[in-house]
Amino acid sequence: MPRRADKTGVRMLFLTSLLCLTLFPLHGLAEQGGITQPGRLVLDSTIERYTPDHDGLTGRLSIAGSDTMNPLVSKLAARFMSSHPGIKIAVDGVGTHAAIREFQLGHSYQRRGDKARGKGNEGATRVELLASSRGLTEDELAGFESNHGYRPIGIPIAMDALAIYVHKDNPLPQLTLAQLDGIFGKERKRGHALVVTWTQAGLLEGALAQQPLRLYGRDKRSGTRAVFKHLALLDGELNEEVIEQPGSASTVLAIAQDSLAIGYAGVGFQVPSVRLVPIASKPGEPALLPSQDNVLSEVYPLSRPLYLYVKKSLKEELDQVVSEFLSFINSWEGQEMVGRAGLYPLTGVQVTRNRQALRLSHGATMASPEPSLEMQHAAEVGGAWRPPLQDSGETRHRLTDQKGMQREKAL
């Protein structure tokens, strides 16, 4: 049976997580294990500033979604409400699985029972936006459509990476995707042997070498878990020895307290008592840490977009509160908040495509390409489109050229 933290331990880890994340702000990656990555994020200067389209707006908005995205969405909501005091936004990081159910049914539990207490009764009774750390499946989209008569529109609002965390004193130099499957996978579809000791993981010297690995990961409600299974395990099942945690912060804090630990979580949950392990796609290929360039170009093998799904058919206009909030997210100020939340901002091309998919009127970027066929198809069928960065040499060039005319502004 999977080993699980007891309820008291979970509560203590959660409280410790909040304290630690307050004392040690999220930060960019620095030099680790002889591999240097850029330590600061840059913001695409082609993204226009936020200009409110509606003054004096009032209303309520409920957003349900991913635990991983909760810090980001909460920061975006707080910044937006500071500019629009008549709008109240409630953000509930219940986990992707539970939030999808609320979104499909159209009901928010923010104003009912325990969730309403202490939250100012801020949210609307309906969930209008879903924050999902993965793309919705065909069955999930069909479930929404059966209740609403159309499919939601999904847009990426940030780029993220799953990071492999170990205790700060663990000198493990790197891992491949096959080794990760050997560590975390039950079926080991990548063909690697079962890995149970640190020697088998590649740590050949030191006190840890013959010690067993202790595995940490997310519970079944998590979109992060689903993405990790897809990217690292080729959709295989997880090893039953994984100690499941209810959130990304509690996962990282558990690793920080266990010298034998290894686990996965979003990159935005770093604290000084853990370190990240560089990952190679295959043996012999470079082992990379997540960085802005590596994630936006998707050369880091555990990269992913983070999505907002919008309750909107192609035949209707967005609610003004929803439209204004989405305009803010797809602006320079909104993407700046993405960087401040420890995630990776979108490019100007991605922001423009978002605005076109949602038919937002203002705040377009200076470069406004025609919608791609992929983006048009996603809008028509209600799916989420992935940023086509692997085909965008222009975008990669702008991100890596530190001397060009389109040089991004540092956050």
Domain residue spans in the chain? 7-41+160-296, 56-159+303-410
Arithmetic mean of pLDDT, 351-360: 94
Burial of 139: CB neighbours in 10 Å, binned 0-12, 13-18, 19+ = exposed
pLDDT of residue 15: 46
User: pLDDT digits over 358-387, tens only?
Assistant: 998 654 333 333 444 344 444 444 445 444
SS3 state at 175: strand
User: pLDDT digits over 212-235, tens only?
Assistant: 999 999 998 899 999 999 999 999
pLDDT of residue 197: 97
pLDDT for residue 314 is more than 90: no
pLDDT of residue 122: 52
pLDDT of residue 95: 86
Q: What is the torsional sign of CA 227, 384, 287, 192? A: positive
pLDDT of residue 52: 85
pLDDT for residue 11 is more than 80: no
User: pLDDT digits over 236-295, tens only?
Assistant: 999 999 999 999 999 999 999 999 999 999 998 889 999 999 999 999 999 999 999 999
Q: Do the domains at 7-41+160-296 and 56-159+303-410 have one common CATH topology?
A: yes
Confidence of residue 125 (pLDDT cuts 50, 70, 90): low
Confidence of residue 393 (pLDDT cuts 50, 70, 90): very low
> If you count them, how many residues does the chain have?
411
> Which amino acid is it at 47?
I
- Name the CATH topology of 56-159+303-410: D-Maltodextrin-Binding Protein; domain 2 (3.40.190)
pLDDT of residue 313: 86
Confidence of residue 105 (pLDDT cuts 50, 70, 90): confident
Confidence of residue 96 (pLDDT cuts 50, 70, 90): confident
pLDDT of residue 255: 98
pLDDT of residue 389: 40
User: pLDDT digits over 25-40, tens only?
Assistant: 343 333 333 222 334 6
User: Over the chain, what is the mean pLDDT?
Assistant: 80
Say if residues 97 and 355 touch (Cβ distance below 8 Å): no
Arithmetic mean of pLDDT, 92-104: 88
Say if residues 364 and 48 touch (Cβ distance below 8 Å): yes
Buried/exposed 12-47: b ≥16 CB within 10 Å, e otherwise? ebbebbeebbeeeebebbeeeeebebeeebbbbbbb
User: pLDDT digits over 189-202, tens only?
Assistant: 999 999 999 999 99
Token reading at 399: 């991100």
Say if residues 269 and 216 touch (Cβ distance below 8 Å): no
pLDDT for residue 334 is more than 50: yes
Identify which of 370, 359, 352, 364 has the alpha carbon closest to the alpha carbon of residue 315: 359
Confidence of residue 109 (pLDDT cuts 50, 70, 90): low
Half-sphere exposure of 351 (CA within 13 A, CB side): 32
Question: If you search the block for the tokens 């690697």, which residue do you land on?
Answer: 192
Q: What is the DSSP letter of 213?
A: P
Backbone phi, psi, residue 214, to 5°: -115, 120
Say if residues 230 and 304 touch (Cβ distance below 8 Å): no
**pTM score, whole prediction:** 0.76
pLDDT of residue 394: 35
Confidence of residue 154 (pLDDT cuts 50, 70, 90): very high
pLDDT for residue 130 is more than 60: yes
Across-strand partners of 60?
Answer: 88
Q: Please tell me the class of the 7-41+160-296 domain.
A: alpha beta
Backbone phi, psi, residue 149, to 5°: 85, 0
